[in-house]
Amino acid sequence: MARRAFLKFGAALAGGVAVGAKASEGEQASPPADPPWSQSLGAGVVDRPYGKPSDFEASVIRRNVPWLTAGTESSVSFSPLQDLHGIITPNGLFFERHHAGRPDIDPNQHRLMIHGLVERPLVLTMNDIMRFPSVSRIHFIECPANGGMEWRAAQMNSLQFNHGMIGCAEWTGVPLSTLLDEVGVKKEAKWALVEGADGAHMTRSLPLDKCLDDCLVVYSQNGEALRPEQGYPLRLVVPGWEGNVNIKWLRRIKLGDRPWFSREETSKYTDLMPDGTSRGFTWLIDAKSVITFPCPEKPLEKPGLYEIRGLAWTGNGKVKRVDVSTDGGINWQTATLHEPILSKALTKFTIPWRWDGKPALLESRVIDESGYVQPTIAQLRKERGTNSVYHNNSIQTWQVKPDGKVFDVEIG
């Protein structure tokens, strides 16, 4: 580095620290003072050629639970829902679930092979795939183990760690039906094997009907190329179904007449019931909602008027209604749903609440367009016990204490 550039860099760093310290004191920046950033020259365009959040947002990151997994390569990270607003998850904060780490794939070398019970087995390059007619759709993806640490009891005092394995994005790519029409589906074909190019060669079976209905082979997330963590350069989006079937780094689709019973759909992603039987092929994400403010990470400062905010979603289609309770489910009021209300996408809800400083138990309950009502954890436990790991879509209860602090609790 040239000496002059180094000096400039050092000065900028020192300046940044000084500004930060002043701002945190709050006095020299608040009226009537004119703050330092108003009396200095800011950084120019392309100072950050690829933008990034303010340094003051450094805490807003994906986080993991170190004790949950043996290492980080086969593990999960959670999205900081407590600091997100609206229904779109920023690409850098979308939750991660890898089974063999994050591969770095050269898109020029990536290939998608489609074969099996088809008329014309094909190998497609990324350029080939991008030539097909494209669609853009907004859908959530949720890991079915989201909330899985809470089956037995309230454990994680956090919105991020209890609900952060969900994200919602605008996905752009090719309908899988277009690709399957292009190769020609043989009439014996009933299932598709979808496989990733990562070291896990992640593999799931999908019924052909779902593939032809609304699945997408996507290369773009919120307007830019997929992030490597989300399957760059190509992933499958299976709207409304559990995250694991949304194969990342997609490299192969094979049609067959029966499912493959891969490890991920037999030993994992199956739901163990109290009688010792297990449910398999439980793909659907049932309706779920959660209050994102207040929450353990975002307590209340003092009594007064607040807006309770939250998110609701359902694999069945659209959210129809969200009710909110402040007394642990004794009485409910219907919240306002905010546009857009899209099928198999996050939907925002709000309701005003005047907190009187007394203890409160906040809950939200979604009803989807199929009429399905989000259950309590007691209802789920009665049917499924406490060892099914996946598909805990129960009502979340946040306990508000008189000091405004918020805790994850379960009630009965």
Q: Which of residues 318-337 bind another protein (CB under 8 A)?
A: 321, 323, 327-333
Collapsed DSSP state (helix, strand, coil) of residue 81: helix
The correct pick among 90, 134, 228, 260 for binding another protein (CB under 8 A) is: 260
Residues 293-322 close enough to bind another protein by CB under 8 A: 296-297, 321
Strands 135-142 and 288-293: unpaired
Q: Is 402 in the site for another protein (CB under 8 A)?
A: no
For residues 125 to 144, the per-residue mask of contacts with another protein, x marking binding by CB under 8 A and - elsewhere, is: x--xx-xx------------
Q: Is 214 in the site for another protein (CB under 8 A)?
A: no
The correct pick among 6, 7, 10, 69 for binding another protein (CB under 8 A) is: 69
CB of residue 397 vs another protein: minimum separation in angstroms? 8
Closest CA to 381 of 143, 69, 154, 142: 154
Residues 80-119 close enough to bind another protein by CB under 8 A: 80, 82, 99-100, 113-115, 119
Tokens of 406: 């918020």
**What burial class does residue 156 get, using C-beta atoms within 10 Å of its C-beta: 0-12 exposed, 13-18 middle, 19+ buried?**
middle
Residues 345-364 close enough to bind another protein by CB under 8 A: 361
| CA 204 to the chain's CA centroid | 20
Residues 217-246 close enough to bind another protein by CB under 8 A: none
The correct pick among 91, 134, 203, 350 for binding another protein (CB under 8 A) is: 203
Collapsed DSSP state (helix, strand, coil) of residue 129: helix
The correct pick among 277, 304, 307, 340 for binding another protein (CB under 8 A) is: 277
- Only one residue has tokens 């679930």, namely 97
Q: Is 289 in the site for another protein (CB under 8 A)?
A: no
Which range touches another protein (CB under 8 A), out of 24-32, 42-50, 139-147, 374-382?
A: 374-382
Q: Is 175 in the site for another protein (CB under 8 A)?
A: no
Q: Is 248 in the site for another protein (CB under 8 A)?
A: no
Side chain identity at residue 184, one-letter code: G
Specify the DSSP element, H or E, that contains 10. helix 3-25
Tokens of 160: 């991020």
CB of residue 37 vs another protein: minimum separation in angstroms? 23
Q: Is 59 in the site for another protein (CB under 8 A)?
A: yes
The correct pick among 19, 61, 88, 341 for binding another protein (CB under 8 A) is: 61
Give strand pairing partners of 347: 312
Q: Binding residues for another protein, how many (CB under 8 A)?
A: 103
Tokens of 137: 């759709």
Q: How far apart (Å, rounded) are the C-alpha atoms in residues 71 and 45?
A: 40
Side chain identity at residue 121, one-letter code: P
* Bond preceding residue 32 cis, omega within 30 of 0: yes
Q: Is 212 in the site for another protein (CB under 8 A)?
A: no
Q: Is 30 in the site for another protein (CB under 8 A)?
A: no
The DSSP annotation for 45-70 comes to: TTSSSS----GGGTT-S-B--TTTSS
CB of residue 188 vs another protein: minimum separation in angstroms? 14
Strands 333-334 and 336-338: unpaired
Torsions phi, psi for 252 (to 5 deg): -150, 140
**Nearer residue to another protein within complex by CB, 10 or 20:** 20
Q: Is 178 in the site for another protein (CB under 8 A)?
A: yes
CB of residue 330 vs another protein: minimum separation in angstroms? 5
Q: How far apart (Å, rounded) are the C-alpha atoms in residues 13 and 297?
A: 30
